[in-house]
Amino acid sequence: MTTSAEEFDTIRIENVGRRFGGTTALQGFDLTVQRGEFIALLGPSGCGKSTALNCLAGLLPLTDGSIHVGDQRVDVLPPEKRDFGMVFQSYALFPHLTVEKNVAFGLQMRGVSRSETARRVAEALRLVRLEDQAKKLPGQLSGGQQQRVAIARAVVIEPRVVLMDEPLSNLDAKLRLEMRTEIRRLHQTLGLTTVYVTHDQEEALSLADRLVVLRAGRVQQIGTPQELHDNPANWHVADFMGYRNLLEATVSSDADGQGRVRIRADDLELVGTAVNPTAAGETVRLAVRPTDLVVQTSQSAAASPVNTIAADVEIVEYQGRDYAVEVRTTGGRTLHVRSDHAPEVGTKVLLTVDPSRALVYQEDLDTATTVAHDTAVPA
């Protein structure tokens, strides 16, 4: 059954769906993963990302669709025959086996010889820098070490695909950063095809070659970190990509040749860039990153009357290099702003936003997603 060495070029996930009773957890999931690629499935809890991973692993049977690895159809195989490595959020280390034996488990199941097993286990433990802990039980290790054992256990079998289910979310912030680098390093060293589930966009952006953003069981956008970061396909993806300011607004003029639209939100009159086709009178969402809202000094404000927002400073947080400022517009909307100086709480400030950095999205997510894949923002 060890067909792990078997060459394959792509993993094709076609129209995969999964229902639980009456609820649809995942629907119409299409994705082609290139060999050696690092894919991150990103979304809030309940978006179907873990369902997708469990379907890939075979721990959940599919309701629709098929999965092919190269020419082999795998969705009909039980998990133990798929030859995928899996890393769980809870580590799922065998508590009664030493670190060494945990890592050796998959090799023993594959009937690898004793000497070969010992060699590969030692190598895997060296890779995750746990040579000294080989004889310990998992319970004697720290969380980060345990997760490294889990990763070693998954990669030692040289699986066709490594599946990781939120592997870092049980770790504290500092360890999480360290492990992120570790995972990236491992992927660069071994070049294993990886599908990684997370709800942390920073993790996804820093690790993945391509991201898949899911919402309510449906794919919202697939693309490289840069594509998603710069051109989110809808406001849900924008929200995940750090567009913290999402304002409901009404379109007051049709888009011009450059995609510029005039929109109105309460007393604010702004010019933004339409990502989805919009018409006058439609309800839309304006998405702006905190860093794209510029706090004006009193002199410069007069010089640029376009896209100016007057607001009161409510909260100022020091965040190392700059300040995170929360302001309230005269219309009562809360906006998040980054500023390199600390404005006085309670004072009035003027903010400006470049029309190309103010993205205008259709309010309705489900119609917007149909064109999600190839919509490019004319920046």
Partner 1 sequence: MTASAVGGTKQTRGTASLRHRLADRGIDSQLLLMVPAIVFILALFVYPFAYGFGLTLQPTEDTVDTWGGGILANYVRFFGDAFTVESVWLTARLAIPAALFNVLVSIPLAIKLKPKFRGKQLISTLLVLPITLGTVLTAQGLLIFAGRQGWLNHTLMNLGILDQPLTLVHNYIGVLLSLIISGFPFAFLLISSYLSGIDPSLDRAARALGAGWAQRFLRITLPLLAPGLATTFILTFVLAFSIFPSATLVGDPSGSTRVLAVVAYRFFGEQFDYPMASTVAIMMGLAELAVVAIVLLGRSFLYKGSTGGKG
Query: Which positions lie near partner 1, rule CB under 8 A?
Result: 1, 57-59, 78-86, 88, 90, 92-96, 105-106, 109-110, 137, 139, 153-154, 157, 163
Residue the block writes with tokens 């969380």? 143
CA distance 147 to 160: 20
Q: Which is nearer to partner 1, 116 or 267 (CB)?
A: 116
Q: Least CB distance from residue 175 to partner 1, whole Å?
A: 20
User: CB 102 → partner 1: shortest distance, Å?
Assistant: 9
- Nearer CB in complex with partner 1: 80/131: 80
Q: Where are the beta strands (DSSP E) in 232-307?
A: 245-251, 260-265, 268-274, 283-288, 293-296
How many other C-beta atoms lie within 10 A of the C-beta of residue 22?
5
CB of 215 to partner 1, least distance (A): 26
CB of 82 or CB of 210, closer to partner 1? 82
According to DSSP, residue 92 is labeled -
Task: Considering the complex, state which of residue 57 and residue 377 has its C-beta at the smaller distance from partner 1.
Answer: 57
CB of 56 or CB of 286, closer to partner 1: 56
Structure-token pair, residue 348: 């009035």
Nearest distance from C-beta of residue 121 to partner 1, angstroms = 13
- CB 50, min distance to partner 1, A: 12
Minimal distance, residue 127 CB to partner 1, in Å: 17
Cβ proximity to partner 1: between 20 and 36 the closer is 20
For the bound state, the minimum distance from the C-beta of residue 106 to partner 1, rounded and expressed in Å, comes to: 4
How far lies 379's CA from each of 129, 154, 352, in Å? 45, 42, 18
Report the distance separating Cα 348 and Cα 308, nearest Å.
13
Handedness of CA 262, 264, 269, 272 (dihedral sign): negative
> What is each CA distance from 47 to 42, 198, 285, in whole angstroms?
9, 11, 21
Reported in sequence order, the residue ranges of 280-370 that DSSP labels E, i.e. its strands, are 283-288, 293-296, 308-318, 323-329, 334-339, 348-353, 359-362
Residue pair 2/157 in contact by the 8 Å Cβ criterion: no
